Amino acid sequence: MQYPKLFSIAAICTVAASAVFISVLGAAAPAKPKPLSSYDPQVKAVLAKMTLEEKVGQMTQPDQEALKDESDIESLFLGSVLSGGSSDPKEGNSLEAWTNLYDKYQKRALKTRLAIPLIYGVDALHGHNNVIGAVVFPQNIGLGCTRNPALVEKIARVTAEEVRATGIQWTFAPCVTVPQDIRWGRTYEGFSDDPKVVKELGEAAVRGLQGPDLSNPLSLLACAKHYIGDGGTTFGTGMAGKSPLDQGDTRVDEPTLRRLHLQGYLTTIAAGAGTVMPSYSSWNGVKCSASKQLMTDILKGELGFQGFIISDYNAIDQITPDYKKAIEISINAGMDMVMVTERYREYVKDLKELVKEGRVPMSRIDDAVTRILRVKFAMGLMDKNRSQLADRNLHKTFGSAEHRMVARDAVRQSLVLLKNEKKTLPLKKTVARIHIAGKNADDIGNQCGGWTIDWQGKSGNITTGGTTIRAAIQAAVAKGTQVTYSADGSGAQGATVGVVVIGEKPYAEMMGDRKTLALDAADVAAVKNMKAAGIPVVVVLLSGRPLIINDVLAQADAFVAAWLPGTEGQGVSDVLFGDYKPTGKLAFAWPRSDEQLPLGTATTADVLFKNGFGLKY
């Protein structure tokens, strides 16, 4: 038959041609964002009308739960409000309640003389992770293992849509830290210990969050953080008495600081990131939030950053006990907006006095407000013909199956196969019985980690719509296959194969700092009990960093690092059953022992697994 042959040749040519066309388009560098300074004419016109009170108000960001009176938004002309890690609506944690919260505060701001809208910020780090029902994506450490910027951009796009569904327009992400010591509690917020991976994925995140045009109602303002060297602190210099690493001192020379820790800022700023957040930590003894060299000379001067700098949560309090002096130092060093959380009334009073006393020049205030208004113009917030309230049509796709599919794909691509003896994996869906064990096998909270629903995250059934690994395995197997479970691995005798899901419980920031990275006793026991049943043992590790796994690795027939995958546990079972063949590559080197730490970047130590390691089926 002539026709099908001809047809198929024509079809192949068409597909090939369009593939070439798309690939050329795709390869074309993303359009450069419109420079924020292009809004300066409109900004200047507004600035000229503003009183000192109105200017200082724009530079002030309280936490919504700390507002002593909602009318403070009007009387103090507040320019921004945030919800910190656990700062939920009083009415409860739901999509509706969050959207009402945003609208309530925005309506207050729109009543002021100049009606400059609020910009509302949250930590949407792996989805709109504050809100029950949101899709929760893998934490950055897992995304680093995908080495897939297009996927990271897609995740950021979905995150932006779910955050805008609540009206909120700003996330304090991406974190472009380059963790050098995995004992740090924020390791999982980093894509990698390799700045090359961080700079590429950080840029992709900004492109996804902000989109090609910040004025699009689905765009979410990004914040590159924590500037600079947050992940490079020296062990033992952390918060006095609280943690060995977090908020400590990064003791490196300038070339090393630039080579290791500046790379993510080069790419995120080039991608148009509208805000940058200085780190709590110090560089050679100088607090980043107090450093004119870092914030003004390098970030704004040398790198030409045109957006605004937002402090970390009460970070300026750490500069000096004299709060008014701390404000003077930080604002004069280049801080533009301060996340004052509770003491916002004191901050407003002090900053106005500092200007009147000539200790903070009006030119510095005008520069800060110019930068803030540039971003608000760029986002369409100053467009009087546009509603600044939430678009509740977006509620339709919030937590949708389509969004969950993006997360499930991300989970698949984030898993790293570290061991697979005797082709234990992939598992068959038709075996007689699979016995599941481990404290992390059936726990959405442990799957998500910190910064989920609560600041520190929490074990247990913390959100709706997700799937635990145990439920995913149950859903995947054939009708005749029995799936049994015991947390401690008991009762595994007679099963065809055992799957033990172990690892860490949720933590965030300094609460996650560790002196040693040993597995907990319950995990070691669960693997031991499963092994004692004399069946093949698959270990799945849910953790925010590499842990010391030598003994458990030796007992396992197969071992998968799954990091903190989030709500979509099917992504793990897809890999276990071979519906997706593992492609993940470690984004951090994996130590053999605590004594090898800190490994740092491109370590020469005899590690258990090198950065980049990953087996395939």
Q: Is 12 exposed, middle or buried (0-12, 13-18, 19+ CB in 10 A)?
A: exposed
What does DSSP assign to residue 295?
Answer: I
- 184 lies in the site for ligand GLC, by CB under 6 A: no
Q: How far is the CB of 172 from ligand GLC (least distance, A)?
A: 3
Q: How far is the CB of 185 from ligand GLC (least distance, A)?
A: 11
Alpha helix stretches (DSSP H) within 31-148 = 40-49, 52-58, 72-75, 95-109, 140-144
Locus of tokens 């019985």: 433
Nearer to ligand GLC, 131 or 599 (CB): 131
Q: Site residues for ligand GLC, window 347-406 (CB under 6 A)?
A: none
Candidate list 312, 350, 409, 568; residue touching ligand GLC; CB under 6 A: 312
Nearer to ligand GLC, 167 or 278 (CB): 278
Q: How far is the CB of 277 from ligand GLC (least distance, A)?
A: 6
The token pair that represents 565 in the structure block: 């995958």
Residue 441 near residue 470, CB atoms below 8 Å: yes
Apex 51 CA angle, 50 and 52, nearest 5: 120
Whole-angstrom distance, CA of residue 547 vs CA of residue 72 = 47
Candidate list 39, 77, 105, 172; residue touching ligand GLC; CB under 6 A: 172
Whole-angstrom distance, CA of residue 120 vs CA of residue 115 = 15
Q: Is the dihedral of CA 439, 440, 441, 443 positive or negative?
A: positive
Q: Site residues for ligand GLC, window 497-556 (CB under 6 A)?
A: 509
Q: How far is the CB of 333 from ligand GLC (least distance, A)?
A: 19
Whole-angstrom distance, CA of residue 521 vs CA of residue 313 = 35
Active-site positions read 312, 509
Q: How far is the CB of 280 from ligand GLC (least distance, A)?
A: 6
Q: Site residues for ligand GLC, window 187-226 (CB under 6 A)?
A: 225
Whole-angstrom distance, CA of residue 13 vs CA of residue 9 = 6
Q: How far is the CB of 84 from ligand GLC (least distance, A)?
A: 4
Nearer to ligand GLC, 58 or 275 (CB): 275
Nearer to ligand GLC, 294 or 425 (CB): 294
- Kindly determine how many residues on this chain lie close enough to bind ligand GLC according to the rule CB under 6 A: 8
405 to 6, 143, 154, 177: CA distances (angstroms): 37, 15, 11, 28
Candidate list 120, 313, 344, 507; residue touching ligand GLC; CB under 6 A: 313
Binding mask 58-97 for ligand GLC (x = CB under 6 A): --------------------------xx------------
DSSP helix/strand/coil, 600: coil
Candidate list 54, 72, 88, 123; residue touching ligand GLC; CB under 6 A: 123
Binding mask 262-301 for ligand GLC (x = CB under 6 A): ----------------------------------------
Residues 6 or more apart in contact with residue 508 via CB below 8 angstroms: 85, 185, 186, 450, 451, 455, 456, 457
Residues that bind ligand GLC (CB under 6 A): 84-85, 123, 172, 225, 312-313, 509
